[in-house]
């Protein structure tokens, strides 16, 4: 097995890059799914990996306009702030337990052939005795569930949930599927982890294990085309090395592509199956991210501050676009992340990638002005969680979806995968070619490293079965 990586380090949107003494997480900044039976735990046992992680508590603190709420492994602070939500959280725990059982090992959804239909039926049957009562929630939204379990409408509680769902399921309660939403909301209760050296340690651990098992990882290998002959993928064309020499052809028996559907259609060109071409034309673009990376003097951080914070600026209006932020600070025990006495901080907000693309193409100066406006807005709102931090800034980098597109090659700089609004609209890994599969956050369940790992387990089983035929 050979893994081709376009960048100088593995990890992509879950990688960690080095700049002027700091190690910043490129995108993903928090990880879950390490609990017994969770995706990362299952993968570690399968591959005999010891993840370089440490548990953190609390997972994060949410700063609403009128109060701050701690999210951790117990619900104590949440229930004190919103005592009427007890029934909601009880059902959330039950639904999430069912969701983890179904999906942590790679649920074959949507099933692509008779073998996956059989495996799906067996999985559902195995969990049927305790799970049948949860089945209706597979076809409801989180908002429907809230209307059932909350005694009255609470704008503040709903805004709290919407902010959590936006970062964990890429949409809000009106749209997110209830069963998947309950599992996404379970991340703090199951426990979150900090990676020694940053989030990229996940990919580094996998890369090392790949090579120990006889596989190869080749960096600076950008795939520019997938070759197809008689309906089968036969290899790839790459640009390689620092100078990006082009035209080298590498043969392949089976290809697994960690790209978006739009990127896959471009790599296949005229050989792309019709269904994939239609998807690339009609699928609605998802979210991008506006990100600030800051090098910070730790003396300007509040004593005992949590490592992760979410700031929600108001109870009305759209989330994202600088109105909701997620802040991650490198842990004080990890000296590899920043110069002595400093910390590496990443803050991001959801943003519409299409808007940045259009503005850059029509008025680059206006695009730069908008970038400066977002930087100022985000720094101002961050003071809600970290008063006086701005005096301690030693380094500042800002990135738009255009930056993501440049460094990751992802279509329009889209990140986070597709919102799980209806299980009937979930995207599977099939490409239309028998020996080509998608993997990554475009494949159900998508969002988060835990979701990507669960989806990859499903893809692995499928590929091994196809190779054995």
Q: Which residues contact 29 (CB under 8 A, 6 or more apart)?
A: 199, 308, 326, 328, 346, 348
Give the pLDDT score at 61. Answer: 96
In contact, 199 and 192? CB cutoff 8 Å: no
Give the pLDDT score at 424. Answer: 85
Across the chain, which distance is largest between two alpha carbons, in Å?
64
Give the pLDDT score at 4. Answer: 95
Give the pLDDT score at 101. Answer: 84
Closest-CA residue to 311 (of 38, 64, 14, 17): 64
Give the pLDDT score at 245. Answer: 65
10-residue stretch averages of pLDDT, the chain, 469 residues long: 93 93 92 91 95 93 95 92 94 91 84 92 79 82 92 92 92 92 92 93 95 95 95 93 74 96 97 96 92 96 94 93 95 95 96 94 95 96 95 96 93 90 89 96 89 93 91
Mean pLDDT of the chain: 92
d(C-alpha 156, C-alpha 321), whole Å: 19
User: φ, ψ for residue 457 (rounded to 5)?
Assistant: -65, -40
Give the pLDDT score at 242. Answer: 61
Please count the residues of the chain: 469
Q: Which stretch of DSSP H or E encloses residue 71?
A: strand 68-71
Q: Which residues contact 145 (CB under 8 A, 6 or more apart)?
A: 88, 91, 137, 178, 181, 182
DSSP state of 74: S
Closest-CA residue to 96 (of 159, 38, 23): 38
């Amino acid at each position: 097995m050979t893994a081709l990586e376009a960048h100088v380090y593995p990890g992509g949107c879950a990688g960690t890059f080095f700049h002027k003494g700091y190690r910043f997480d490129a995108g993903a900044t928090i990880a879950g799914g390490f609990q017994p039976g969770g995706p990362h735990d299952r993968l570690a046992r399968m591959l005999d990996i010891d993840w370089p992680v440490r548990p953190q508590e609390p997972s994060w603190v949410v700063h609403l306009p009128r109060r701050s709420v701690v999210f951790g492994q117990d619900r104590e602070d949440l229930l004190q702030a919103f005592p009427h939500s007890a029934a909601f959280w009880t059902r959330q725990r039950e639904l999430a337990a069912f969701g983890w059982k179904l999906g942590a090992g790679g649920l074959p959804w949507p099933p692509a052939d008779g073998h996956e239909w059989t495996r799906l039926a067996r999985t559902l049957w195995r969990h049927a005795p305790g799970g049948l009562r949860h089945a209706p929630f597979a076809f409801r939204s989180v908002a429907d569930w809230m209307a059932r379990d909350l005694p009255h409408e609470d704008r503040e509680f709903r805004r709290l949930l919407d902010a959590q769902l936006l970062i964990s399921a890429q949409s809000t309660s009106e749209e997110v599927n209830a069963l998947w939403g309950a599992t996404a909301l379970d991340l703090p209760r199951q426990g979150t982890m900090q990676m020694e050296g940053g989030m990229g340690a996940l990919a580094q651990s996998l890369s090392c294990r790949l090579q120990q098992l006889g596989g190869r990882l080749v960096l600076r290998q950008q795939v520019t085309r997938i070759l197809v002959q008689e309906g089968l993928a036969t290899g790839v064309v790459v640009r390689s090395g620092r100078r990006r020499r082009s035209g080298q052809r590498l043969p392949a028996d089976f290809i697994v592509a960690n790209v978006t559907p739009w990127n896959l259609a471009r790599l296949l060109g005229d050989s792309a199956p019709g269904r994939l071409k239609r998807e690339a034309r009609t699928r609605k673009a998802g979210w991008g991210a506006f990100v600030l990376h800051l090098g910070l003097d730790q003396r300007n951080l509040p004593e005992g501050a949590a490592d992760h914070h979410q700031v929600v600026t108001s109870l009305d209006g759209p989330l994202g676009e600088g109105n909701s932020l997620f802040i991650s600070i490198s842990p004080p025990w990890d000296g590899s992340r920043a110069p002595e006495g400093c910390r590496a901080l990443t803050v991001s907000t959801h943003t519409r990638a299409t808007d940045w693309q259009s503005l850059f193409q029509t008025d680059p100066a206006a695009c730069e002005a908008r970038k400066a406006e977002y930087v100022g807005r985000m720094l101002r709102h961050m003071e809600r969680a970290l008063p006086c931090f701005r005096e301690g800034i030693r380094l500042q980098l800002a990135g738009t979806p255009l930056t993501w597109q440049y460094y990751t090659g992802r279509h329009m700089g889209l990140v986070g995968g597709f919102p799980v609004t209806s299980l009937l609209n979930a995207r599977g890994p099939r490409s239309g070619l028998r020996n080509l599969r998608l993997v990554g956050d475009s494949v159900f369940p998508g969002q988060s490293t835990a979701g990507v790992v669960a989806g990859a387990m499903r893809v692995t089983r499928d590929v091994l079965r196809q190779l054995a035929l």
